[in-house]
């Protein structure tokens, strides 16, 4: 039986109680999410713009299967990420290099946050939490 979005968010939140770790996650999770879209953006495909667009659609179906409100929020956030990619590409900046550097730095901070927290990242238990983390951030930001 699959867990509800609230069960997943609660489980994710249980390993994100420390104030410093939460602050790190509020910054780094959106950065990591964006960097993944950026890395996929550079993979051009026929008939669609690129792999980031395809993955955004697929990930949106995951969120839609869990909760409509969170899905809409994540779709909006995903579109913002895609627009940032288009903007950086239009400026002629090295999107892939920027994304890889920020991805690595953000993950280092994530692991520092979990060291401070004293708990392992949730995705070590279930890879699904790699998608729950961004939803948790969005829910935290929009529910205040």
Mean pLDDT by 10 residues, the chain (144 residues): 83 90 95 98 93 96 94 95 97 98 97 92 84 91 73
**What pLDDT is stored for residue 141 in this prediction?**
82
Report yes or no on 142 lying in a domain. Answer: no
Enter the DSSP assignment of 123. G
Token duo for residue 57: 């659609």
**What pLDDT is stored for residue 144 in this prediction?**
60
Report yes or no on 78 lying in a domain. Answer: yes
Residue range of the domain that includes 26: 18-136
Report yes or no on 38 lying in a domain. Answer: yes
Report yes or no on 7 lying in a domain. Answer: no
pTM > 0.95: yes or no: no
Phi, psi of 67, deg, nearest 5: -170, 130
> What does the angle CA 74 – CA 75 – CA 80 come to, to the nearest 5 degrees?
95
Count of structural domains within the chain:
1
Neighbouring CB atoms inside 10 A of 85's CB total: 24
Instruction: Report the distance separating Cα 8 and Cα 135, nearest Å.
Output: 10
**What pLDDT is stored for residue 142 in this prediction?**
78
Report yes or no on 6 lying in a domain. Answer: no
Report yes or no on 144 lying in a domain. Answer: no
**What pLDDT is stored for residue 124 in this prediction?**
84
Report yes or no on 63 lying in a domain. Answer: yes
């Amino acid at each position: 039986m699959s867990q509800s979005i609230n069960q997943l968010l609660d489980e994710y939140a249980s390993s994100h109680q420390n104030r410093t770790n939460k602050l790190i996650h509020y910054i780094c999770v959106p950065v990591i999410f964006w960097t993944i879209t950026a890395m996929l953006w550079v993979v051009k495909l026929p008939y669609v713009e690129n792999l980031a667009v395809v993955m955004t659609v697929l990930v949106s179906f995951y969120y839609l299967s869990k909760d409509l409100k969170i899905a809409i929020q994540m779709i909006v956030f995903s579109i913002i990420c895609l627009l940032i990619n288009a903007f950086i590409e239009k400026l002629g900046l090295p999107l892939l290099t920027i994304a890889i550097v920020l991805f690595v730095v953000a993950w280092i901070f994530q692991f520092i946050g979990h060291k401070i927290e004293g708990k392992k990242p949730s995705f070590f238990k279930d890879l699904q939490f790699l998608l729950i983390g961004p939803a948790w951030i969005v829910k935290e930001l929009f529910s205040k």
